[in-house]
Amino acid sequence: MTWHVPEPLVAAYVDGAVQGARAASIEAHILACADCRARVNSAVSVDRLTSIWSSVLDDAENPRQSWAEWLLTRAGVPEADARLVAAAPSLHLSWLASLAAVLLFAAWASNTSDRGAALFLILAPVIPVLAVAGAYGPRIDPTYEVSVASPYPTLRLVLLRSASVVAASGALALAASALVPDGEIAAAWLLPSLALITLTLLLTRWLALPVAAFGVAAAYAVPLLAITLDHGGVSTALTSAALQWSAAAVVVVALALLTADPHMRAAMRRNP
């Protein structure tokens, strides 16, 4: 090897003043060149290395809890479960802020017209389902590979994350309901929401969670939104006893099928 890293460049690299392609080139070189590697090693402060290593050990042994993890552990969720559950993207503040903005808009619209009321009744049940869609999946979850590689039942993780994001998004929807002037409309979204959520969880036995969630949400919301934008007057149908009883029936049947599945029962146990 005829080329070596000059001394001024070694000093600049150790100080962190070399970035990008040049830093990558130096790193590739010192991996193959024992002489340059020794010069870089001798230029690095032992105290600095000790400090960096101590910081890495501290982060690994005493990881800082996110707000979601803190709430989950206070609610009695085991620490190992809470850490994996809290990594769900739809428990991040950016997701929750987006969901809250949509709900606030829908609640405001319900004060303006019958179409606005219908918009709230369509969106409020769908919001928790969309939160479930962001709970787990290779294209959504940045910790997906870690979750798959960890010795932890995937189905249990899906159920725990789904329950957590439903609780968080459902609380937002309940808060938005307080802004809806009509009490019947403010409560009419609850049973349809439960029906959509349980149906989504049931479909995860055959479909990926995001696919199941987006499919269920679209099947419910898209036709109703099209009718609302075209004709209006959907709020009466959405608050009708027939729809409420139908939603309750879906919840009962879906829960019965979920609890009858041995894989689901195993995932629901505290120590699967």
Which segments of 75-113 does DSSP mark as H helices, in order? 79-86, 93-110
Q: Evaluate whether residue 14 is within a structural domain.
A: yes
For the beta carbon of residue 174, count every other beta carbon within 10 angstroms. 15
pTM over 0.85: no
Q: Is residue 92 part of a domain?
A: yes
Co-location of 196 and 252 in the same domain: yes
Rounded CA separation 149/144 (Å): 9
Give the mean model confidence (pLDDT) for residues 148-177.
86
Is residue 2 a part of any domain in this protein?
no
110 and 44 in one domain? no
Residue 175 lies in a domain: yes
**155 plus 24 within the same structural domain:** no
The enclosing H or E element of 221 equals helix 209-230
- Which candidate, 73, 77, 257, places its Cα nearest to that of 156? 77
Lookup: tokens for 140: 């959504």
Q: Which two tokens stand for residue 127?
A: 């919001």
Angle between helices 93-110 and 114-133 (to 10 degrees): 160
One domain for residues 77 and 57: no
* Judgement on whether residues 159 and 252 belong to the same structural domain of the protein: yes
User: Quick one: 27 and 125 in the same domain?
Assistant: no
d(CA 224, CA 123): 10
Residues 76 and 30 placed together within one structural domain of the fold: no
The per-residue pLDDT of the chain, averaged, comes to: 84
pLDDT, tens only, 231-258: 766 778 888 888 899 999 999 999 998 8
Instruction: Name the nearest CA neighbour of 68 among 140, 165, 197.
Output: 165
Q: What's the token pair of residue 119?
A: 């918009």
Residue 235 and residue 141 share a domain:
yes
Residue 66's pLDDT band (boundaries 50, 70, 90)? confident
State the CB neighbour count (10 A cutoff) for residue 250. 18
- The domain of 18 spans 7-61
Q: What angle do CA 7, 12, 16 make, to 5 degrees?
A: 145
User: Cα–Cα distance between 174 and 30 in angstroms, integer?
Assistant: 59
Whether residues 102 and 11 share a domain: the answer is no
pLDDT at 160: 86
pLDDT at 71: 79
Residues 123-154: tens digit of each pLDDT: 999 999 999 988 888 888 877 777 777 777 88
Main-chain phi, psi angles of 34, to 5 degrees: -65, -35
- CA–CA separation, 74 and 89 (whole Å): 20
Same domain, 28 and 128: no
Residues 13 and 118 in one domain: no
Q: What is the rounded CA–CA span in Å between residue 49 and residue 47?
A: 5
In a domain, 230, yes or no: yes
The pLDDT tens digits for 191-224 are: 999 999 999 999 988 888 999 999 999 999 998 8
Q: How many domains does the chain have?
A: 2
Residue for token digits 């219908």? 118
**82 and 98 inside one domain:** yes
Distance CA 104, CA 110 (A): 10
- The answer to whether residue 174 sits within a structural domain is yes
Task: Assess contact for 210 and 266: CB atoms under 8 A.
Answer: no
Residue 247, pLDDT score: 92
